[in-house]
Structure 1
Amino acid sequence: MKKHVVLYKSLSPALLAQLEAATEVTYIEDPKSPEGQARLLQALPSAHGLLGASLRVGDELLALAPQLEVVASVSVGVDKYDLAAFKRRGVTLTHTPNVLTDTTADTGFALLMATARRVVELAAKVRAGQWKESVGPSEFGTDVHHKTLGIVGMGRIGQALAQRGHFGFDMPVLYHTHSAKPEVDARFGARHCSLDELLRESDFVCLTVPLTAATEGLIGARELGLMKPGAILVNIARGPVLDEAALIDALRGGRLRGAGLDVFSQEPVAPDSPLLTMANVVPTPHIGSATHETREAMAACAVENLLAGLRGEVPPDRVVL
C-alpha cells in the first residue's frame, strides 16, 4: 500500500506525477483558509509525509499526525519548525539549502545596486513624466565598486554575495559569523571581524543570517547607530532579524542613505508601513528565490527528500536535529 502524503504547495505536472507514482497524495491548495484547515485536520491522522512551505509545524500539529515520518519543506529556512518537537517525536525534517543560493544572492545584490543608484525612485519619475532635464546632485546615487561590503552571516548565500562583490566590483569584504573561515578569507580577500567593527567600517551591510533566538533583533537602534553615515542596509535574511522601527528612525534621521528589503517583520508588509513611503527604500515581496528555474529546483529537491525519507533512507537534505 502506498504511503499517504499531504501536499500543500502546487507542483509542476512532472513533479506531481513523480509524487503520485510513489504515494497517495492529498492536495490542499491553501492550508490556512478555513476550508484548507478543515481538510488538513481530516488528512493528518493518516499522513506519512508532508510537503510544502509557510506552514508552522510544532507539537500541536505533529500530535495530530501519529503516523508522520517526514516533513519536506520547500525552503532553506527552518524557523517555522519546532526542531525540538520533531526530535521528540522522531519525525524527519528536510529543507532545500543548495538550489537557491545563487538566485538569492542575485536578489541581494540587485537590492544593493538599486538602492545605491536610486533605480526605483528615479524610474518612477521617468514613468510619471517628471524627467525634464539632466539629473543634478540632488538625484545622484553612490558608487558600489571599490566600496566595503559587510556581510552578516557567511553561509552559502553570504559567500555567494562575497563572490559577486569581490570579483565583480572589487569590493573589500568584511564578514561576521561565529568564527573565521580561512577558505573565505583566502578566496575573497575577506576579513572576519566583530559585528560592531563590520557596522562601523562597511559602506553596504547585507544581512544573510538564519532567524534563530540568537539572531532575532540582532540589528537594532544601537547597531544602526554604529553604521557609517550614508551607508546602505540590505536584508535578505528574515524580517525579525532587523528592528524595523529603529530602521525607520535611522532613515528618517538621514543617518542611512537607504535600505533594500526583501523581508519584513510582518509579511505581507502592512500597507501603512512608513517603509513603503520612503523613496530611499527598495521593498520587494520576499522574492529571494522567486524565479521559475529556482522554484522548480526547490520543489524537485523537496520531492526527492520526501520520497527518500519515506523509503527509509537518509534524505539528502535532512535538517540536523
Structure 2
Amino acid sequence: MRAARLMKVFVTGPIPAEGANLKVISTLSVGLDHLALDEIQKRGIRVGYTPDVLTDATAELAVSLLLTTCRRLPEAIEEVKNGGWTSWNPLWMCGYGLSQSTVGIVGLGRIGQAIARRLKPFGVQRFLYTGRQPRPQEAAEFQAEFVSTLQLAAESDFIVVACSLTPATRGLCNKDFFQKMKNTAVFVNISRGDVVNQEDLYQALASGQIAAAGLDVTTPEP
C-alpha cells in the first residue's frame, strides 16, 4: 500500500465528518466496540486490529483473578498486614477450590479457549460454555458442553466472562443471571465492563447471592 494514497490513524471516538480522505483505521485491540462500525462500513473504510496480541496475557490474567478471588488472597494479605492473623484456624480464609468444580465460560473464542486450557490441569471436572452458537470443534479439547446463559449461571462454580461486547451481550450478566448463580460461586469478568450490569452485580455481592467477583474491567474504566 502506498503511503501517498493511504492514511492510517488511531481512532478512539466518532469519525470526524470532515475526514473524507480517511481510508484505514488501525486499533491496538481485539474488540471493535469503540469504533462506529456502521459509519465505517458506509464509508468503505478498512479496519485493522490485533486479534492475537493479548490472548495469552488476558488468559493468564483471568486465571490469576480467579485464583486470587476464590482463595481470598486480598483479604488474607490485609489480615496479615493489620494483625488479624493470630492463631491456627484450619478453616479460616479457605475460599473455594477448582478441583472437581464446574467452570462456565461466556464466550469460547480464542481467549475463552486459552483460559480453559490453563484451568484444565487444576482438576476441573466439567466445562460449560455459552455464546452465539455451539463450537463443537473448539469445545472438544475440553469436552465442554454448550448450554444456555442461565443454565451456565445456575450450574457453574466459577464463571469467566470472555465474550465480545455487542448489542446482544450488553448487560448480559444482570439481576436474572446473578440470581441463578450459586451463593458459593465466583464471577470473573475480563471482557468489557458493559457486559455486566454493575448495580445488579453490586447487589448480588452485598446480599450474599454470590460469593465473590474478580474484575479486570468496569464501566467506566478508572
1:56 has 2:13 as partner: yes
Q: Supply the AA of the counterpart residue of 1:221.
A: K
Q: Which of residues 137, 140, 164 in structure 2 aligns to 1:183?
A: 137
> Aligned pair 1:172/2:126, yes or no?
yes
Matches within 5 A, 1:166-245: 166-245=120-199
Give CA-to-partner distance per residue, 1:57-114, whole Å, 9 cap, x none: 33xx2x2222211111011111110111111111111111112111101111111100
Secondary structure in structure 2 of the residue aligned to 1:139: coil
Q: How far apart, CA to CA, are the structure 1 residues paired with 2:179 and 2:210?
A: 9
Partner of 1:159: 113
* Aligned partner of residue 214 in structure 2, secondary structure: strand
Give the aligned partner of residue 257 of structure 1: 211
Alignment match, 2:34: 80
2 CA distance for matches of 1:193 and 1:227? 14
Q: Distance in 2 between matches of 1:168 and 1:254?
A: 26
**Does the 8 Å contact 2:103/2:124 carry over to 1?**
no
* Corresponding residue for residue 247 of structure 1: 201
**Larger RCO of the pair (alpha carbons < 8 Å, separation 6+):** 1
Aligned residues: 221
Counterpart AA for 1:152:
V
Runs of 4+ aligned residues of structure 1 deviating over 6 Å after TM superposition are: none
Q: Distance in 2 between matches of 1:214 and 1:179?
A: 13
SS in 2 for 1:133: coil
Give 1:185 shift: 2.9
**Distance (Å, rounded) in 1 between the aligned partners of 2:44 and 2:140:** 41
Structure 1 contact 220–247 (Cα < 8 Å) conserved: yes
CA-based RMSD: 1.9
Instruction: For 2:9, give the aligned amino acid.
Output: L
Aligned to 2:69: 115
Q: Secondary structure at the match of 1:219?
A: coil
The structure with more radius of gyration: 1
Secondary structure of the 2:183 match is: coil
TM-score (structure 1 length as normaliser): 0.65
Contact kept? 1:148, 1:173, Cα under 8 Å: yes
Maintained 8 Å contact 2:100/2:123:
yes
> Contact conserved, 1:116 with 1:232, CA < 8 A, in 2?
yes
Uncovered stretches (5+) of structure 1, i.e. residues with no partner: 5-45, 269-321
- Displacement of 1:167 in angstroms is 3.4
More helix by share: 1
Which blocks of at least 5 consecutive residues in structure 2 are unaligned? Answer: none
Q: Which amino acid aligns with 2:140?
A: A
